[in-house]
Chains A and B, each alone.
Chain A
């Protein structure tokens, strides 16, 4: 791949001036698109340290007032607590159920396996607002609409497809013969699972759990329909943004961006360790 690039560079410039104009134009367009993509992040972070009452850019001075206003507000802190409880519970449920299912799907060889696997991925394709609406009507009938367990169940359904996707890839790349060796050496299935399968899949499992955690932590639509009086950070942000523009949100947005950076770096590390990227 590298050699072909070099060869191309060294090749005599057969093209005319139109080639270099085209090349420059591509660069200009591409860099502008990249800027457009990154613009929200580039704007929100400096704004969160603004000393101004209103949203002005560039900020007139530095202050931490919006962070103080976030950490000093009991309602935002309660929302953060709910967000974390729901995200931890739903991602743990999704990770346990989803990775067991992924193991069965990869190692099994029975009729209808493909259909069941496709069904696990269905929540990714069906628009979330439809899932939210269906759960809303269903939970209303069951009398669990607006409860924390109901919300956790809704988030679990959304996290499950990601866990199944990540774990089927991971288990597929784990040689089944290693399991067979352990079994043929006299290990019981459960012993083999705990001391052979689990340690090997641990990085992927952590990645899958983290993915489901972030999906839940950022989730707006399902929460908007199912949470009732409960507030999560995204739900309260969404409701506030519909009414007015409160600069406290820039501070929360910056905190969320830093969480995103931390989680994605962790995921990259886990992916390298588990060989998912290889």
Chain B
């Protein structure tokens, strides 16, 4: 019966009479979701990219505007600047945390990892909101600095680049820490043990063995943070207070305030191309990591 055919097919995959009807096995189950994602994701994306070439007489006019007008260039430059600083901050903060977690006992490792996972899991909105309370003019940081006499009047951390970078780093840090920590855990500890038995000092072991071995994972994490910051919307909108425009917020402006859909579509196109280029780099690093 059906089962016998199935088993026969597994045993003798070369038997063409039996494999032919099996070629499409599983395809029927994929179809509904495939239609869904084509209609609600791929098609809208293509239509939007089509919009970016509108009006058709001058198909590249929108792209030309983006790359020649100083307002748009400034926003793109600003976004890349913030993304770069956030990436550096995430690496500098994330790597020591991962390394420390890696050296802990399994029990403590689990506890600390759970805390990181929890921060990752709590809504971005909630985590962003807290920074208003912490960094505001009457916030915790300012009041501490005033009490300690380190400053005479409140320092503005909010509604400028500093606030956006602090908030974005805080929100995105788990995206670097969790994969990097997982990569460290996959590392063969016997390599380090071998170096130790051969008499290498701890510093040498770290800088000559551990760090080089985990560097590709750190680089992959850095690219991920960079991509995520490029398209970041919530935190810049709230902590930037409209004064730190990033690409995503400009798209909101072009759609909801001054309806210029074709321009917003073109900016999406530019952002998409940048994202895909960096994602290709991320994939390349990950594949290389797995191959070695």
- Shortest distance between the CB of A78 and any CB in chain B (Å): 18
Interface SS, B side:
helix
**Chain B contacts with A in 24-60, Cβ cutoff 8 A:** 24-30, 32-34, 36-37, 40-45, 47-48, 51
Count of A-B contacts with CB under 8 A? Answer: 294
Residue ranges of A at the interface with B (Cβ–Cβ < 8 Å): 1-2, 4-5, 7-8, 11, 14-16, 18-19, 22-23, 26-27, 29-31, 33-34, 36-41, 43-44, 47, 54-57, 97-98, 100-101, 103-110, 116, 119-120, 122-123, 125-131, 133-138, 153-154, 156-157, 160, 164, 180, 182-189, 214, 218, 220-221, 224-225, 234, 237-238, 241-242, 245, 249-250, 253, 256-257, 260-261, 263-264
Does B85 sit at the interface, judged by CB under 8 A? Answer: no
Q: Are A137 and B44 in contact (CB under 8 A)?
A: yes
Q: Given A30-B100, A101-B33, A134-B47, is A14 in contact with B123 using a C-beta cutoff of 8 Å?
A: no
Can you spell out 12 A-B residue pairs with CB atoms less than 8 angstroms apart?
A26-B99, A26-B103, A29-B96, A40-B119, A40-B126, A43-B130, A100-B29, A100-B32, A103-B29, A138-B48, A220-B125, A256-B123
- Shortest Cβ distance from B134 into A: residue: A43
Residue of A with least CB distance to B262 = A137
Give min CB distance, A253 to chain B, whole Å.
Answer: 4
A260 contacts B40, CB within 8 Å? no
- List of A residues within 8 angstroms of B116 by Cβ: 34, 37
- Tell whether, in the assembled complex, residue B115 and residue A34 are in contact, meaning their CB atoms are under 8 Å apart: yes
Contact of B189 among A1, A36, A43 (CB under 8 A): A1
Most buried by A among B32, B123, B255, B261: B123
Instruction: Name A's interface SS.
Output: helix
Contact assessment for A18 and B123 in the assembled complex, using a CB-CB cutoff below 8 Å:
no
Residues A33 and B94 in contact, CB atoms below 8 Å apart: yes
Q: How far is the CA of A104 from the CA of B31 in the complex (A)?
A: 9
Q: In the complex, what distance in Å separates the CA atom of A56 from the CA atom of B227?
A: 35
Closest beta carbon of chain B to A2's beta carbon, Å: 8
Beyond the given A29-B97, A116-B30, A264-B121, please list 18 additional residue pairs across the A-B interface where CB-CB is below 8 A. A14-B202, A15-B203, A22-B202, A26-B99, A29-B100, A41-B126, A44-B133, A100-B33, A101-B29, A108-B30, A126-B275, A129-B268, A130-B272, A186-B3, A234-B125, A241-B128, A257-B126, A260-B118
**For the complex, is B146 an interface residue (Cβ under 8 Å from A)?**
no
For residue B20, CB closer than 8 A to chain A, the reply is: no
Is B140 an interface position by the 8 A CB rule?
Answer: yes
Give the distance in Å from the alpha carbon of A244 to the alpha carbon of B199 in the complex. 61
Interface, chain B (partner A; CB < 8 A): 1-4, 6-7, 10, 23-30, 32-34, 36-37, 40-45, 47-48, 51, 93-94, 96-97, 99-101, 103, 105-106, 112, 115-119, 121-134, 136, 138-140, 170, 173-174, 189-190, 192-193, 196, 199, 201-203, 206, 227, 230-231, 233-234, 237-238, 248, 251-252, 255, 261, 264-265, 268, 271-272, 275-276, 279
Cross-chain contact A106 with B136 (CB below 8 angstroms): no
A238 to B36, CA, bound (A): 29
Q: Report whether A120 and B265 are in contact in the complex, using a CB–CB cutoff of 8 Å.
A: no
Note all chain B residues with C-beta closer than 8 A to A27. 100
Asked whether A30 lies within 8 Å of B101 as measured between CB atoms, the reply is yes
Q: Do A260 and B268 touch (CB < 8 A)? A: no
Give every chain B residue within 8 A of A2 (Cβ-Cβ): 106
Question: In the docked arrangement, what's the CA distance between A40 and B203, Å?
Answer: 34
List of B residues within 8 angstroms of A109 by Cβ: 23, 25-26
Closest Cβ–Cβ distance, residue A49 to chain B (whole Å): 14
What are the 8 A-B residue pairs with the smallest beta carbon separation, nearest first?
A127-B231, A108-B26, A40-B130, A184-B3, A104-B29, A30-B100, A183-B3, A104-B26
Determine the chain B residues whose CB is within 8 A of the CB of A47 once the complex forms: 133
- Report the bound CA distance from A130 to B97 in whole Å: 33
B41 touches A122 (CB 8 A): yes
Measured CB to CB, the closest approach of chain B to A269, in angstroms, equals 13
Complex Cα spacing A19 to B204, Å: 10
Residues of A within 8 Å of B140, CB to CB, are 43, 57
Given A26-B99, A40-B131, A97-B32, the answer on whether A218 and B48 have CB atoms closer than 8 Å is no
Determine if B248 and A260 form an interchain contact, defined as CB atoms under 8 angstroms apart. Answer: no
Return chain A residues, CB-CB under 8 Å to B202: 14-15, 19, 22-23
